[in-house]
C-alpha cells in the first residue's frame, strides 16, 4: 500500500524538488492492517510518501500457499523496490529503506546489494537506510552470539555480514531495555556502518513501547539530512 502525503507538492519525473519515499518493512507478528496507524504517523510527521508492502506468507499474501521465510521476505522487498524505481520512477536517491525489527532483515539485504533481479536500478543508490530495533541476525537476537556461530548454516537475516556493504547513510534507533531484540544488536550494527548517522538510543524503552512520535521525529531529521533537494519543510 502506498501512502502519499498530500500536504506538499510532489513533482514526478525530473522536477527540482520532490518528497522522499520511505520503503517500509514491518516487524514480525503484524501485517499492513495492524501498522496502518504508525504508517500514517510516519508520513504525516516526516513529510514523506510511504510504500508499505506485505511479505509472502504473511496475512493474505499466500503466493502458491507459501509460508513465511527469509527468501519470501527478500522476494517481496525486491518487488516493492521494482515498483518504486521502475513503475513509479522514483529516483533511488529519494528512497529511504526503512525496516523495523525482523523487517530490518530484508531492508539490510536490499540496501547491501548492487542489483535486484529484473531491475536496472541499484539499491546501493538509495538515499538512506533507517533501522528500528534491528537484529544482528535471527539467532543473535534470540539465542546469542555463541549459538549463532554453532548454528551458522541455519541462521537467518545475517545483517552483521551485510550492513558494511551499504553505501548510503544508516540511522539506527533502539530501545535500551529491549528484551525481544537486545540493545547490543543495534550497537553492534551501528559500529559496522560505513556512513553511520547519529544513533538514537531510547533510555528505558523496550521493543514495543518506543514512542511513535519520537521515532518519527528522528526519521524526519534523518530524511532532511540525507535526501538532498527534497520538499520536506525544515522544522
Active-site annotation, residues: 101, 178, 207
- Is-contact 99 106, C-beta < 8 A? yes
Q: CA 139, CA 159: separation in Å to the nearest integer?
A: 11
Q: CA 149, CA 147: separation in Å to the nearest integer?
A: 5
Spell out the alpha helix ranges (H) of the chain: 36-46, 70-82, 104-112, 138-142, 145-150, 159-162, 183-192, 212-226
Looking at residue 145, the DSSP 8-state letter turns out to be H
The secondary structure of the chain in percent helix, strand, coil, rounded to multiples of 5, reads 40, 15, 45
- Is-contact 152 136, C-beta < 8 A? no
Amino acid at each position: 500500500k502506498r501512502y502519499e502525503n498530500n500536504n506538499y507538492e510532489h513533482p514526478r519525473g525530473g522536477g527540482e524538488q520532490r518528497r522522499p519515499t520511505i520503503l517500509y518493512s514491518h516487524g514480525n507478528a503484524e501485517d499492513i492492517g495492524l501498522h496502518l496507524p504508525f504508517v500514517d504517523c510516519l508520513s504525516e510527521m516526516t513529510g514523506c510518501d510511504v510504500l508499505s508492502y506485505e511479505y509472502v506468507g504473511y496475512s493474505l499474501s499466500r503466493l502458491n500457499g507459501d509460508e513465511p521465510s527469509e527468501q519470501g521476505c527478500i522476494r517481496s522487498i525486491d518487488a516493492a523496490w521494482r515498483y518504486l524505481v521502475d513503475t513509479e520512477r522514483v529516483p533511488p536517491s529519494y528512497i529511504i529503506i526503512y525496516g523495523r525489527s525482523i523487517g530490518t532483515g530484508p531492508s539490510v539485504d536490499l540496501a547491501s546489494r548492487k542489483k535486484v533481479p529484473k531491475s536496472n536500478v541499484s539499491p546501493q543508490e538509495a538515499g538512506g537506510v533507517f533501522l528500528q530495533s534491528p537484529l544482528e541476525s535471527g539467532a543473535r537476537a534470540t539465542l546469542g552470539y555463541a549459538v549463532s556461530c554453532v548454528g551458522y548454516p541455519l541462521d537467518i537475516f545475517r545483517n552483521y555480514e551485510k550492513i558494511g556493504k551499504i553505501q548510503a547513510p544508516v540511522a539506527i534507533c533502539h530501545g535500551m531495555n529491549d528484551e525481544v531484540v537486545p540493545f547490543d544488536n543495534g550497537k553492534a550494527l551501528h559500529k559496522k556502518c560505513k556512513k553511520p548517522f547519529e544513533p538514537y538510543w531510547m533510555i528505558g524503552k523496550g521493543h514495543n513501547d518506543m514512542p511513535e512520535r519520537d521515532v518519527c521525529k528522528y526519521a524526519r531529521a534523518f530524511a532532511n539530512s540525507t535526501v538532498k533537494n527534497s520538499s520536506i519543510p525544515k522544522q
